[in-house]
Amino acid sequence: MATSARIAWKVLAGCQRHLLCASGPAYTGVSQTAPRNLPVRTFAAVKVQKKDQKKENVEKDAKKEKKEKKEKKVINDTERHKPFGKTAWTPVDDVYIMRYYPRTIHSATDAIDMLKKFQVLDFTPLSQPIFIDLRLDMKLEKKKRVEPFVSTVHLPHPFKTEMNKVVVFTEDPNQAKVALDSGAAFAGGIELIQPILDDEISADFYVAVPDILSKLVPLKNKLRKKFPKSKRGTISTSIPRTLELFKTGHEYLVENDCYVRTQIAMLDMPAEHIYANLQTILIDVCSQRPANMGPFIERAIICSQTSEAIWFRSEDVLPKAEQTTEE
């Protein structure tokens, strides 16, 4: 009986050890981490792009952004009740506060007539100069700009009573004689340098022959902008033709990178003569713009010495052929 009970306990102990081994790992003093359930991925892996493909995508996005910036939406304001921040599009009366209405841009002929009316109403002198102020679009492609330029034009109706003084630099006695016969104030070689430095000789323009240009270096600081340059047309071999231009020519230049401010006529001149001078200068200004680059003049203002500034449409002054070349 005792032996049978002992055998039964052995069998039960063996079964218990078997069950424990089958149910889990045995702990032998070494800590074992429990197994973790990893999440199931429900999306596809991102395809790795090459560096060249990434650069192409970046360039495409940049081009799209540039196109969106260039394509500006033009809003037609004519059908609106009133412009933003203003009272109305046009005033009802002749007397009104200017800041409450959009700026009025007149035609060139109307602007000239208004200048003459202002002179009568303001009791100002009739003999006073007329000026224009142009703002130019000097931008080109690829962040380039048109270089500021200087030009001299022949006005159809000159407003100066005296001819310009011109000095000609040449070491050839025959050329000096031709220059003096053509109307030059002074003509000579390096002997004219010291009198110019001592302010004994002064002129409106200084013309030089290419051979003597290297010897005129001491005059650079003295003459500055008037020093002979090819851009200004003051370096030439045909002296009579050059003198004909600078004796009676009108010079203007680009100031502050994009502005042209110059006198065009006198107020006591006929309106047709003022208009002709204005047209001549605007055509010459637009000729400095490279072809097929759009309109050159962004804003145009005309005024006399005592009047207010009047905005006018420069495209009306330019001939149709000139407008087509700009566009």
pLDDT tens, per residue, the chain with 327 residues? 566 666 766 766 666 565 555 555 544 444 444 455 555 555 454 555 555 666 677 777 777 766 665 555 555 655 656 777 788 878 888 788 888 888 889 999 999 999 999 999 999 999 999 999 999 988 887 778 888 888 999 999 999 888 899 999 999 999 999 999 989 999 999 999 999 999 999 999 999 999 999 999 999 999 988 899 888 889 988 899 999 889 989 999 999 889 999 999 999 999 999 999 999 999 999 988 876 677 889 999 999 999 999 999 999 998 875 444 444
69 CB burial (10 A radius; 0-12, 13-18, 19+): exposed
Provide φ and ψ at 154, rounded to 5°: -95, 115
The pTM score is: 0.68
Q: Do the beta carbons of residue 267 and residue 116 sit within 8 Å?
A: yes
Question: 């996005």: which residue's tokens?
Answer: 61
CA atoms within 13 A on the CB side of 140: 9
Query: Element (H or E) spanning 68, and its range?
Result: helix 51-70
- For 265-295, letters b (16+ CB in 10 Å) and e give bbbebeeebbbbbbbbbbeebbebbeeeeee
Instruction: Provide the pLDDT for residue 200.
Output: 92
Q: Contact 129/325 with Cβ under 8 angstroms?
A: no
Q: Residues 174, 212: contact at Cβ < 8 Å?
A: no
Write out the H or E segment, with its range, that includes residue 202. Answer: none
Separation of alpha carbons 100 and 1, rounded Å: 124
Where do runs of H (alpha helix) occur along 144-270? 173-181, 193-197, 220-223, 239-248
Q: Alpha-carbon distance 143 to 141, whole Å?
A: 6
Q: What is the pLDDT of residue 40?
A: 53
Q: How many CB atoms lie within 10 A of CB 24?
A: 7
For residues 171 and 191, what is the distance between their CA atoms, to the nearest angstrom?
10
Q: Of 154, 108, 115, 153, nearest to 268 (Cα)?
A: 115
pLDDT given at position 147: 87
48 burial (CB, 10 Å; 0-12 / 13-18 / 19+) is exposed
